[in-house]
Amino acid sequence: MSSKWLRRIAAYARGNCNASTEKGQKIPCAGIVVIGDEILKGEVFDTNSTFLAKELHRLGLKLKKISVVSDDVQEIGDEIRLFSKTFDYVLTTGGIGPTHDDVTYEGVALAFNEPLVLHPELKDICCEFYRTTDPLSAGMKLAYIPRSSRLHYKTVSGANLSYPNVSVKNVYMFPGIPELLKKTVSEVGPLLFRSNKRFFTRAFYCNVAEYRIITELQQVVDEFPSVQFGCYPKLHHSIYQVKITVESCCEDSTSKAYERLKELIPAHYIVDVED
């Protein structure tokens, strides 16, 4: 493929990938830090970041970066410090628990130069759950959190979490067990991660390789600078070869760009696929 075509592919792949709407209003940005040696070793497949990415998108936030770090306090602290300065919201997953390698709270405390303190509310929760009053027991580890931490119990249903989400500044720490992560984020995410924007997305499929529609795609990219376009090839599919997405924070802009692109691409290239 010529350098000309490669440049054009890069142009529409980037689309208009920034964190502003058509009117220049900022979309809140987020970063995810996945914590765990098991992820870096390939022992556990990371499904948490995929779930979080979808949830943040649904809530109207722009996810800008995902990082995976080991169970090392210094590495966690360094990454959290950088992410906290860079993004509006930082979500961590993993490293919360009673074992020796659960060091997320320590890492976040280091990031903000804070000590860990025994929180009285969490102490009571841990005493009841682990049936111990020993402040040095393994179970009590979940009661020691960074000094400036805030506890978030309230859920969208109005009920309370049995163990709250803990946050420091703009960093929100979630469990690494996928079932617990999904439950917690689904219940408190809409209350924690605020955005007055929503993404409007439409998609269609073509039964030809992406290079066959580059000219039409680039034309619409140029015509609709506030809209983001995605082009995702699919190998060995029985029906389609590429999926095209059209997205913006304005429903009308998305619809107009979508219709314009379908107007330019030959109709016999477009196929029906159920997502």
pLDDT tens-digit readout, 73-121: 999 999 999 999 999 999 999 999 999 999 999 999 999 999 999 999 9
pLDDT at 47: 97
With a cut of 90, say whether residue 260 has pLDDT above it: yes
Alpha helices for 15-72 (secondary structure H): 37-40, 48-58
pLDDT tens digits, one per residue of 160-184: 999 999 999 999 999 999 999 999 9
Q: How far apart are CA 226 and CA 20, in angstroms?
A: 9
With a cut of 80, say whether residue 129 has pLDDT above it: yes
Q: Residue 250 — φ and ψ, nearest 5°?
A: -120, 120
Q: 156: which 2 tokens?
A: 């969208």
Q: 134: which 2 tokens?
A: 């020993």
pLDDT at 23: 53
- CA distances for 42 relative to 35, 45, 46, 70, 94, angstroms: 13, 7, 9, 12, 15
The beta strand positions in 119-263, using DSSP E, are 144-146, 150-154, 160-168, 171-174, 200-206, 228-233, 242-248
Residue 199 near residue 247, CB atoms below 8 Å: yes
| Residues 192-198, mean pLDDT to the nearest whole number | 95
pLDDT at 179: 97
pLDDT at 14: 41
* Local structure of 6: helix, strand or coil: helix
Beta-carbon count within 10 A of 240 CB:
19
| Residues 241-258, mean pLDDT to the nearest whole number | 97
pLDDT at 5: 45
Could you tell me what percent of the chain has a pLDDT over 70? Answer: 91
Q: What Rg value do the Cα atoms of the chain yield, rounded? A: 22
- CA distances for 269 relative to 172, 206, 210, 224, 229, angstroms: 45, 5, 11, 22, 18
Q: For tokens 């320590």, name the residue.
A: 106
How many CA atoms does the CB half-sphere of 23 hold within 13 Å?
4
With a cut of 90, say whether residue 41 has pLDDT above it: yes
pLDDT at 177: 97
Note the pTM of the prediction, 2 decimals.
0.88
| Residues 132-143, mean pLDDT to the nearest whole number | 87
Q: How far apart are the first and last CA of the chain?
A: 30
| Residues 230-249, mean pLDDT to the nearest whole number | 95
Residue type, 142: L
